[in-house]
Amino acid sequence: MSIANDIKPLVAKTLKELYGLDLNESDLTVNTTKPEFEGDYTLVLFSFVKQLKKSPEQLGNEIGEALVKNNPFLFTSFNVIKGFLNLVITDSYWAGFLQASYADKNIGVKKPNGQKIIVEYSSPNTNKPLHLGHLRNNFLGWSIAEILKAGGYEVVKTCIVNDRGIHICKSMIAWQLFANGETPAGTGKKGDHFVGDYYVKFNNEYKKQVDELTARGMTKEEAEKEAPIMKAAQQMLVDWEAGKPDVIDLWKKMNGWVYEGFDITYKRIGSDFGKTYYESDTYLLGKDIVKQGLEKNVFFRKDDGSVWIDLTTDGLDEKVVMRKDGTSVYITQDLGLAEQKQKEYHPKESIYVVGDEQNYHFKVLKLMAQKLQMPGADGIYHLSYGMVELPTGKMKSREGTVVDADDLLDEMFKEAEKKTKEQGKTEGFSKEELKELYDMISLGGLKFFLLRVEPKKRMVFNPEESIDLHGFTATFIQYTHARIKSILRKEKAGGNIQPAKERLLPKEKELIVLLEQYPVILDQALQEHNPSVIATYAFNAAKTFNTFYTEHSVMNAESDEKKQLRLQLSELAANVIASAMTLLGIRVPERM
């Protein structure tokens, strides 16, 4: 509960008493005061200025005087700047908040509200290992799910695995041609890397065959169609759809290798799913929906037998929903899966964490579901995110130039080890403790770097920048947490504080005001589906604590009361930082 929620009913009561105006608390806007103005919280006056036919200055002064006079326990003073009433909160209120909250490890977490939300993320293909783009996807999906849980929702984390189609057939054909029966176990390779290598081999061989055919006089287009290896992959897809036993056996075997590899990476990065769907089970879904759509005149059939929807009046275009041969397209399968999820879980919202290249697809999906009046259609939400690039540029998996997730995690671990040793921070740690610390720093650095940017923005990932003890990094925040824990190991917080005797000093107040705003930050992150709000807040909390600690001694405070206040402030800071970082999937060390 934020102080803003305490202020609103008092403002509503004051408006009623002064002017007879009935306003709902939801109609009132109370924000934190901007740093350049004096005050802690600001009431925006514009929403009721017209109704009361008074100038904002007059209105602000009248409301401010009444609030200070009638609520001396909460307000000490006020000022009016244009249409904004800035209110200064009493030290005793802040101290009371601190006393009540400092030991709360669940600060900002709401009680269950009985509503369900599905978050779908990861969506890997079974022809290659997870890469850097998948990491941003996984970290976003997992974090949003945890933020929603903290907001009181029951969350089902789901994953759809793209385990069928021409891409996996390419790896299968290449394995048959070039593997001589070798397996991941025999080569000592992770299964997803092993299969991914054959996807690259397929494309290398395909390119070679196309070059040979063009050298013999074919056009490039003809050569691409006639290349024997591509024809073999296409035939394998036909055989898979026909259920040919030897093809199905190979498909199961190679996908099994990939899943074993995925599981290792998921465990390492902390991703988990309540339910995994497989495209091989869902690709036939949606055919009944097409039939219903034709009956409702939402869809129409063209002369060649294909089925379409016309979205031109909605500013989009015509979209095929079933091919002339009766096979469904991706959008139809997605409608079918959306219907299945709705029947299984009855979610209030279904969030799809998918890159921004699919923006159009999800706009169409939601619009089609709404026109078909499917249950849950309004709750379809595309959490779109930008591509992650490296300083060297884009990645292409078919050429083997993709940034593999496992390789990146290994590189980050080495970087964490190197920088920790350079800082001379390894004294007193056992080998096992150091390994855990490097893991915490490396994974934390990677997650924070990918989550600190607003999802919709494209970004460049730089491994070296992500582990900087003095930068906008998880490492800086982790070190601050460890520093606070070191203080609290010397003496625990406790005892009553009576701030009426001694005013809060500016840096004490700055920190306590920031920490009190944490529940508001959680709400904002939830409403915006945006973990970067929490990442920025966690960094600011750590930075503000360090400024406070540089200026004020905790253990050698001027009085016992000040010591207690600062110990409680330190414990609250540690709890809030740990909570914020946990929602990003980042662990914070007790010592560092």
Task: Give a yes or no: residue 383 inside a domain.
Answer: no
Q: Model confidence over 200-254: pLDDT tens digits?
A: 999 999 999 999 999 999 999 999 999 999 999 999 999 999 999 999 999 999 9
Q: What is the dihedral of CA 505, 509, 511, 515, to 10 degrees?
A: 160
Q: Do 182 and 66 share a structural domain? A: no
Instruction: Tell me the C-alpha distance between 122 and 169, whole Å.
Output: 21
Supply the DSSP symbol for 390.
Answer: B
Q: What is the pLDDT of residue 403?
A: 82
Among residues of the chain, what percentage have pLDDT more than 90?
A: 82
The two three-digit tokens of residue 292, written as one number:
């219903």
Asked whether 481 and 586 are in contact (CB, 8 A), the reply is no
The two three-digit tokens of residue 509, written as one number:
């107040």
Instruction: Tell me the C-alpha distance between 539 and 503, whole Å.
Output: 27
Q: Do 560 and 475 share a structural domain? A: yes
Instruction: Tell me the C-alpha distance between 46 and 51, whole Å.
Output: 10
Average pLDDT over residues 79-91: 95
CATH number of the domain where residue 49 is located: 3.30.1360.70
Q: Model confidence over 512-569: pLDDT tens digits?
A: 999 999 999 999 999 999 999 999 999 999 999 999 999 999 999 998 889 999 999 9
Please determine, for residue 197, whether its predicted confidence score (pLDDT) is greater than 60: yes
Please determine, for residue 496, whether its predicted confidence score (pLDDT) is greater than 80: no
Among residues of the chain, what percentage have pLDDT more than 70?
A: 96
Task: Give a yes or no: residue 255 inside a domain.
Answer: yes
Size of the chain in residues: 592
Q: How many domains does the chain have?
A: 3
Task: Give a yes or no: residue 29 inside a domain.
Answer: yes
Q: Do 467 and 568 share a structural domain? A: yes
Instruction: Tell me the C-alpha distance between 29 and 252, whole Å.
Output: 57
Range of the domain at 180: 165-274
Please determine, for residue 158, whether its predicted confidence score (pLDDT) is greater than 70: yes
467 backbone dihedrals φ, ψ, rounded to 5°: -120, 80
Q: Do 183 and 38 share a structural domain? A: no
Instruction: Report which of 471, 407, 478 is spatially closest to residue 436, judged by C-alpha positions.
Output: 478
Task: Give a yes or no: residue 114 inside a domain.
Answer: no
Give all strands of the β-sheet with 318-322 in edge-to-edge order.
300-301, 307-310, 318-322
Q: What share of the chain is helix, strand, coil (3-state, %, to 5)?
A: 60, 10, 30
Q: What is the pLDDT of residue 283?
A: 87
User: Where among 212, 247, 274 does a domain terminate?
Assistant: 274
Find all residues with CB under 8 Å of 168, minimum gap 6, and list them: 125, 126, 127, 251, 254, 255
Asked whether 488 and 570 are in contact (CB, 8 A), the reply is yes
Task: Give a yes or no: residue 155 inside a domain.
Answer: no
Question: In this structure, is the dihedral angle defined by the CA atoms of residues 132, 138, 144 and 149, taken in order, positive or negative?
Answer: negative
Q: Do 428 and 554 share a structural domain? A: yes
Q: Which band of pLDDT confidence, cut at 50, 70 and 90, is reported for residue 500?
A: very low
Q: Do 84 and 170 share a structural domain? A: no
Q: Do 172 and 79 share a structural domain? A: no
Q: What is the pLDDT of residue 393?
A: 52
| pTM of the model as a whole | 0.92
Q: What is the pLDDT of residue 398?
A: 45
User: Where among 228, 247, 274 does a domain terminate?
Assistant: 274
Q: Do 577 and 465 share a structural domain? A: yes
Q: Which residues pair with 30 in a beta bridge?
A: 43
Q: Model confidence over 267-279: pLDDT tens digits?
A: 999 999 999 999 9
Q: What is the pLDDT of residue 326?
A: 83
What's the Cα-to-Cα distance from 399 to each of 202, 241, 277, 394, rounded to whole Å?
A: 10, 27, 28, 12
The two three-digit tokens of residue 152, written as one number:
């009181």
User: Where among 251, 274, 297 does a domain terminate?
Assistant: 274
Asked whether 365 and 341 are in contact (CB, 8 A), the reply is no
> How many CB atoms are located within 10 Å of the residue 11 CB?
20
Task: Give a yes or no: residue 299 inside a domain.
Answer: no
Q: Do 570 and 442 share a structural domain? A: yes
Task: Give a yes or no: residue 137 inside a domain.
Answer: no
Average pLDDT of the chain? 93
Q: Do 484 and 577 share a structural domain? A: yes
CATH number of the domain where residue 555 is located: 1.10.730.10
Instruction: Tell me the C-alpha distance between 109 and 254, whole Å.
Output: 43
Q: Model confidence over 425-451: pLDDT tens digits?
A: 778 899 999 999 999 999 999 999 999
The two three-digit tokens of residue 165, written as one number:
């189609």
What's the Cα-to-Cα distance from 481 to each of 70, 147, 261, 485, 503, rounded to whole Å?
A: 40, 21, 34, 6, 26
List helix spans (H) across 311-461. Answer: 330-345, 359-371, 405-423, 431-451
Task: Give a yes or no: residue 292 inside a domain.
Answer: no
Instruction: Tell me the C-alpha distance between 85 and 75, whole Å.
Output: 12
Q: How far is CA 201 from the centre of its chain?
A: 34
Supply the DSSP symbol for 404.
Answer: B
Q: Do 557 and 450 share a structural domain? A: yes
Q: Do 522 and 437 share a structural domain? A: yes
Instruction: Report which of 495, 560, 548, 509 is spatially closest to residue 94, judged by C-alpha positions.
Output: 509
